Structure 1
């Protein structure tokens, strides 16, 4: 199944694609604009699967475009499908990305965190922070927990706790991240710095999570073209590792790293500027498209694409 959210900011409606059809989830999720940790913890995915099988969910209006549409209309907005709990991120987890940044391969996963309020929809505008000269892109496989995980004894046990997968753009400001001292968090938590979606695809839909292609282009030029097979620490290994240091709960999101091709690693370092368009996709999970905009003045409200 593929969960998605569509509608104006704060008024999204949840739906699911299954067996070639799309169904409205309001009867099960109420007015929630995104899947919540409590919904996942309460067996929400299983409840939706039963309702689809029983034929009790109303179909989404046939005129409503779906995230899988080849050409999504510009006046239709898709929201992030999940309101995450924790957002945990793994740095330097692809061999080619470590090489392009001249970093040694890590012997343990590198961990940093993003705040849940960085999450926006997959096609919403992304704001370049005031004073930024080094805003960068990172296509990443996001992993969503479906049940509580503590002290996993194996990668296989950890994978059993996965509800599904999403696309994340782990947008980063490299000066804030690397040159300002302290931890990486300053360059990772700027407003709108985690576009997510359009789908949360349930784990059973992905045959091999370590064999997914990831691509990203800027203004039509391919910048990233990688595969999860190049991960230093596979998804199950990452989750098992994290569970030794903290409890992972339903709705937690783990961004698992990015392949080579970020601006920081390209000759000339073509960091993002106002008006640049970034498009990214992961096999089986859909695609995103963001326009990067200079952050507004302090007295002006931030705007998403749908409000621009």
Structure 2
């Protein structure tokens, strides 16, 4: 393991994501802390390899935008995945959700160092997500897996509610609305904010569910003990329609490039709502709000093509 640290450099996608935020949207102490963490990441990984007696295979690429995953083997040769995330509390919440699910529909946690933002997870097939399937089949499998995750949260859980989470997003969205670069999308921003106000005025579901929070086809991987398992939750508690929004948005490039894109987007909303017994209008509303929020955030960091694609999609709905 003497040369393991040489193989623990962060993947380029993570470097670009944190570098862009540090220079653009987050030119503050938070952004600077992210960049310091990025520089320290090989050392943090090496420390946990030694502490937990792990042998690294390779860093998973292209990886995510807020964490690094190292494919490893435990002391008995069992494969696993070492996930290192920003020490901002997100990994602790992820661990709480994964522990509550206990492998039902989601990757199983093996060990955790919550203060350092490090998890040891069972190894899935990281190169095989639901996006490897035809879209219709992928949506069916995604819906079936998501149903297994929708359970009541544990008493005393640490998760934020959808209303509070989206209130913070809405505050930032209002601030960005005033920027000169947002002039062309202010009408769409206003509609998204109005939709959110109506949605949070009524809870939707009679009782809150534990939600994945970032559920899309790319976050569902092939497994050995189960065909498909979810990874990377950003858990919240609230109504199920919020959790479905990113499934509506999946494969956005293909959806928008096809003839009849508006009708296809509305059909996807209707199909997912019906298959999971979710109100269609609420699903549409949350999809619009989340797409506008994500699109405006992309514009704010200079990622105009990605932002415009999301806003075009929101406009279709």
Normalised by the length of structure 2, the TM-score is 0.25
Asked which structure has the greater RCO (Cα within 8 Å, sep 6+), the reply is: 1
- Structure with more of its chain in helix, by fraction: 2
- Highest CA radius of gyration, 1 or 2? 2
